[in-house]
A and B are shown apart, each in its own frame.
Chain A
Amino acid sequence: MIARAALGLVLLSLGACAANLAPWERGNLARPDMAFEPYPVEAAFREHIWFSREGASGGYAVGGGGCGCN
């Protein structure tokens, strides 16, 4: 119950961050270069390299298979 109330408060305050942002004011945000992954195929390749060469991995999404990757 407390957790739900807290989540509600967080969401309410987040909503206040962008009050009155009408759909036509979101044109900039809808640009391809404003996507979190503007080039998803390239992003997958780069993340696969780091997954194979660095001790930490993940955080951006879940999924994908493991590999031998030596």
Chain B
Amino acid sequence: MATRSGVAAVAATRKKSSPKTLAALTSAALALPGMTSHSHAATPPTKVELEGGLFYYDEGPDRVRVATVQQQALTPVGDNFDVKLNAVYDAISGASPIYNVPTLECPGGTVIQPTTGGAETVSGASGASGSSTSPLPRPRGGIPYTQSGCKPIGVQQVISPTPFDDRRVAVDLKANHYRGDTTFGVGLGISDEEDYRSNFLTLDLRQDLNEKRTTLALGFSLADDKVMPVNDPGFIGDKQTLQYLVGLTQILDKYSITQVNLTYSNAAGYLTDPYKDVFVLDSNSVVPERRPDERGQWNLLGRYIRFVPALDAAVHLDYRYSWDDWGVTANTLETSWIQTLGAGWQATFGVRYYSQGAADFYQDYFDTLPSSGGYTSDYRLATFGALGYRLRLSKALSESVRIDAGIEYYDRRVGLALDSTDNSDTADYDYLTFNLGWKVSF
């Protein structure tokens, strides 16, 4: 609490301040612990910071699990520069959903069930697409189910029967240059998997205005990605993504601050997921999904943080509205309460709500394939809602060492969507994450 009492002591002497003492007090205030390194206005760091974590993501016994280790190192370089190196290693294993099959009730009351293990002929490390599987029994007399008056009475998700193993290594380097009220940043990075490679570049500019009460941010990034599906040797899909950001951060008063960001992202090229299929009822067959070769996504984000002095707590509130030209719109609301406790302890409680509407070309399965445009049954482009809850604890062991532990539970439910539809709940699932973190500065 040195910071708070220090600030109070300084503020108490304010009335008598002459220009000279004003300057002295200003520099004294800026010398208080935490005053510079976390200021919202752009100031170069004064210490080396090593920050990292161990993370575990678990979707359940038959699905995806990811173990991650991440480490960052930030160092000031001279008075006006800093450099940050960030490295991530993911070990990924498990199996993913690939398509959905309906259960039908046909005239006369016959119920047609998907043949269990209908996906067993699907091969490939991540669940190949394009197999000649017939997930439903052969229709009587060869008349397609779409023409014999059969009605769907349920839908069942098919998970790839072939678990995959992969690892992802990502490294990026970022440098900032501080020049008066202006900060320029340049970043370069790569992300590498067995079947995916991404190279990216980031440029950003921050300009402090109104005596550092307002910050204008501009950002641009370019990513050049390659997809090399393990189920289609020799094929390479290319994708380029451009992202733009304009943002405004505003100090409202001595307890609160707000930020508004508008971002636009344009992706072009191979945007299809090579491991996702769709089921076509008319031909009783499974075919690879197909997505449009361009996607424009917008986000409008508003963030607000308020300090509550009486409780020594900070309240964070974020709202994001997202929309894109695939027809996906989403609302995200997240809040967290960061409570400072005694003896260097800090507890964070957070809740996040997410809701999206399906892409225009999403269906649980297809009667017939559309003659133009895309088609997908990827559960991530379906209508759904999700609630996440998290708890984290942080302990400052000394002025320069902090350790953290956290847990988060995420529950994805079709029924949680703002705009509930007749989509099936077959894709509902939940996950847990655990993390341990550390930060050392010197």
Contact = CB atoms under 8 A, between A and B. Distances in A.
Contacts of B35: 27, 30
B254 A14 contact: no
A31 interface: yes
A40 B38 contact: no
Contacts of A30: 3, 32, 34-36, 38-40
Contact of B29 (A23, A59, A63): A23
Interface in B296-343: 297, 299-301, 303, 305, 307, 309, 313-314, 320, 322, 324, 326, 328-330, 332, 338, 340
Given A59-B301, A70-B126, A14 B198 contact: no
Contact of A67 (B7, B51, B198, B340): B198
B277 interface: no
Contacts of A66: 191, 196, 198, 223, 225, 239, 241
B132 to A, nearest CB: 22
B232 interface: no
Given A17-B251, A17-B252, A39-B437, 19 more contacts: A17-B253, A21-B251, A27-B32, A29-B40, A29-B255, A33-B338, A39-B404, A45-B70, A55-B326, A55-B380, A58-B243, A58-B322, A59-B263, A61-B245, A64-B200, A65-B198, A65-B223, A67-B191, A70-B64
Interface of A: 11, 14-15, 17-18, 21-36, 38-42, 44-46, 49-50, 53-68, 70
26 contacts: A11-B209, A11-B214, A18-B251, A18-B252, A21-B253, A24-B7, A24-B10, A27-B4, A27-B32, A28-B255, A33-B314, A39-B392, A40-B51, A42-B404, A45-B53, A50-B354, A54-B386, A56-B356, A57-B322, A62-B202, A63-B221, A64-B189, A65-B200, A66-B241, A67-B191, A68-B126
